[in-house]
Amino acid sequence: MISNFRLRPTNGRVNGHDDSLVRPLFELLALRILLVGILSSTFLICSNVQGAQVETLEIHSFRESVRLDSHSLVIQSNQGATGADQIMERFRSGEGTRRADANTSRLFGTDVYWMWVEFETDSNISPEWVVDTGYSKYGQVDFYLYDGESKIHKTAGSSLPWSERDFPSDNIAFSADLRPDTVYSVLLRVESDNFLSLSLWLVTDFHF
């Protein structure tokens, strides 16, 4: 019967164990859980501050085409005179959004986007390659190729003469002479008042 139920004093014992021994164990467990939560939150905050990190692609000699934009980072910029080296420093410091997550839609005006991707060639790679944007109506594209020792800069676009292009092609593309066992960085400045697909391919000269 409920009326006969009585609470019995524990006399300082929990399940037959001294309460003075059990309580510190619970307090220690609670402290550990709290510390894990704090460390996890700190890790997430640091990850968000650092931003996306570039992944170095490996370019093998048997490949004829490699999609670069899937591993690229993007920074939206204004039309001011921001230098390529300054943008590179921003990318290397952790700025930038992965191309797959970048929102390139717009309502009006002219947009400027920077794209950065890094890749490494193998020991048997052929020297003649093409960096192809896969698009023809960008107003101006500035192409930079870094190899750690030098920088190549080329410009092409629908607003510029065809005679300045590396190839007589509708797509805006740039020739790139690659050496084996070398890490390269490709930096593009894309300025356009048209659709911005921001695609990027590396293809062999023969395949192009």
Q: Which of 104, 129, 95 is nearest to 191 (CA)?
A: 104
What is the per-residue pLDDT for 154? 96
* pTM to 2 decimal places: 0.70
- What are the tens digits of pLDDT across the range 181-195? 999 999 999 988 766
Phi-psi region of 23 (alpha: psi -120 to 50; beta: other; left: phi over 0): alpha
Q: Which of 207, 181, 189 is nearest to 59 (CA)?
A: 181
**Radius of gyration of the chain from its Cα atoms, rounded to whole angstroms:** 29
What is the per-residue pLDDT for 30? 59
CB-based contact 167:173 (threshold 8 Å): yes
b/e per residue 152-167 (b: at least 16 CB within 10 A): eebebbbeeeeeebeb
- What are the tens digits of pLDDT across the range 126-152? 899 999 998 888 889 999 999 988 899
What is the per-residue pLDDT for 41? 36
Beta strands 111-121 and 56-59: pairing type? parallel
User: Distance between CA 20 and CA 4 in Å, rounded?
Assistant: 31
Residues in the chain: 208
User: Distance between CA 58 and CA 90 in Å, rounded?
Assistant: 23
Q: What is the arithmetic mean of pLDDT over 63-69?
A: 87
- What are the tens digits of pLDDT across the range 144-173? 999 988 899 999 998 899 888 998 888 999
DSSP β-bridge partners for residue 174: 131
What is the per-residue pLDDT for 99? 84
pLDDT at 61 over 80: no
Q: How far is CA 183 from the centre of its chain?
A: 17
- Greatest Cα pair distance in the chain: 102
User: Distance between CA 169 and CA 136 in Å, rounded?
Assistant: 8
- What are the tens digits of pLDDT across the range 35-48? 545 444 333 323 33
Confidence label for 21 from pLDDT (cuts 50, 70 and 90): low
